[in-house]
Structure 1
């Protein structure tokens, strides 16, 4: 008895006809299929189906045989798949996170570095707020992530990728657009937006900057991300400080100017759990020099 005998028998049983099974399922001739079924019945030692002008009908033996035939084919297919999987080397999997917005500039370079060394790597990418990614690293749900330096990251190791200066952002027809730079004391009575606690590193850098300048900052709104910032600046004619790399996302209706004097900065780091000794993590860290250029 061969597997093809089982396949032929199942096809005939499902079709209810030797002719239909031969022409539409098995792509063979009806006489050849009849011979295969007779050979099977001879091997089993009993009649499995009866034939009539209306088609075929399984005998009680045939009905019992059908269930076992289906199971045998399923097991044969499973055995083949298991063998193929065992013959292939394991595919490395790596969960990598990007602080929202950072992936646009970094992802092509990062994937290029990883796929050159690990051609079959299965990259699982995620994008979120920096604090959310930091928690995922601590819980070992991510292998590495490009984030800001957050609080309570004692379990994480961080390597600086680049330093992002902050720039003033405002409507393009604002009075600041005629200035080469903007000083903290220029803010005066301007409507000012402060990054929300969803971006604590940038928020902290802004507050510390104005504190050092001796300016009593009174923000009127908080923004959660760049899209929200664009909306608030456009609708309220607000001013705010954002990392310089966000310039690439801003529409023509919004302008930027450098900070006069020493600008506040925030670091972008690649972080991983200290217990993670993955060679993929080591490769990323060793390649930081290739990834550290500040996006235009």
Structure 2
């Protein structure tokens, strides 16, 4: 019994017609197909089809045979696929993790730098809170992280940008009419603070307020930019977030710059120096190209 016999049998059983199966699925002559099916029935030792004026119907033996024939064809297909995969050399993997939201800004620049490598690697992308990205680099789960300067002993960082921190507030908030906002004008009770997850942003903003003698009294705390946007939109509160968040805003939330010398927050490419990946080495050798690409993307016209 050959696989083609099973393929012919399944096609006829599913179409219910020798003519349709021969012309539309098997691209063979009907007499040849009939002969192949007779040979199959002779080998099985049972009648598989009842032929009538409307086409063909499966006998009880044919119905029993159909399920196993499909399984045999599926297994044969899987065997071929497995052999082809084994014959191809495995592609080296390269995993990049982004601080959630930063993939909007940086993924296209990372792939631009890696363009000569992409065809030959298994390229994987993920996003998470910045501390989780730093931990993933430390564990070796990812090769490259685009995140904050998370404190991990085996992670090396190269700063790739400094983002201004802006004020985010409801569109109908009275301060939204200002072209720039003085933090002294923000109601301390309406300020949305930060959980320990956003410890780097929290530290920068806390120092900024402390240097200006400002005491905020938050009762709500964000643990990521999505939570922060939602809290601003739903509570009427105000918060400070990095500028990249602007591209994720709903219409009900707007951003404004701070007056004076506004704080900035660093975004960095993090990696383990002992990572032997040649793709990582290629990326690091072209890091200036990444920075230039990003700078050109945001340059004023």
Q: Normalising by the residue count of structure 1, what TM-score does the alignment of the two structures yield?
A: 0.72
Report if the CA contact (8 A) 1:270-1:285 is conserved.
no
1:202 corresponds in structure 2 to: 201
C-alpha displacement of 1:207 = 1.2
- Structure 1 or 2, whichever has the larger Rg, is 1
Aligned CA distance change for structure 1 residues 210 and 140 (closer, same or farther; 3 Å): same
1:101-250 aligned within 5 A: 101-151=101-151, 153-170=152-169, 173-174=174-175, 177=178, 182=182, 186-187=184-185, 190=188, 191-233=190-232, 238-250=237-249
Paired residues for 1:60-99 under 5 Å: 76-99=76-99
Question: Which moves more between the two structures, 23-32 or 85-94?
Answer: 23-32
Shift of 1:99: 0.9
Is structure 2 residue 4 aligned with structure 1 residue 4? Answer: yes
Q: 1:247 touches 1:256 (CA, 8 Å); kept in 2?
A: no
Looking at structure 1, the residues matched to 134 and 72 of structure 2 have their Cα atoms a distance apart, in angstroms, of 49
How much is the aligned-residue C-alpha RMSD, in angstroms? 4.3
TM-score normalized with structure 2 length: 0.71
Q: Say which is worse superposed, 170-179 or 89-98, in terms of deviation.
A: 170-179
CA deviation map 1:19-48 (0-9, x unaligned): 786577645445323433566688x6x956
Change (3 A) 1:174 1:11: closer
Post-superposition offset of 1:96: 1.9
SS of 1:276's equivalent in the other structure is: coil
2:174 aligned counterpart, secondary structure: coil
Q: CA deviation at 1:146?
A: 0.9
Go from structure 1 to structure 2 and tell me whether the alpha carbon gap of 1:57 and 1:220 turns closer, same or farther (over 3 Å shift).
Answer: closer
For 1:68 and 1:218, how far apart are their aligned partners in 2?
70
Report how many aligned residue pairs link the two structures: 288
**CA, structure 1 residues 240+47, in 2 after alignment: closer, same or farther (shift >3 Å)?**
closer
Paired residues of 2:176 and 2:256 also in contact (CA < 8 A):
no
Corresponding residue for 2:269? 270
Instruction: Quote the offset at 1:194 in angstroms.
Output: 1.9
Consecutive unaligned residues in structure 2, runs of 5 or more: none
Is the Cα–Cα contact under 8 Å of residues 98 and 145 in structure 1 kept in the other structure? yes
1:34-45 matches, within 5 Å, as: 34-37=34-37
Query: CA offset at residue 243 of structure 1?
Result: 1.7
Query: How far has the Cα of 1:278 moved from its partner?
Result: 1.5
Q: 1:132 & 1:33 partners in 2: Cα distance?
A: 61
**Is the deviation greater in 102-111 or in 268-277?**
268-277
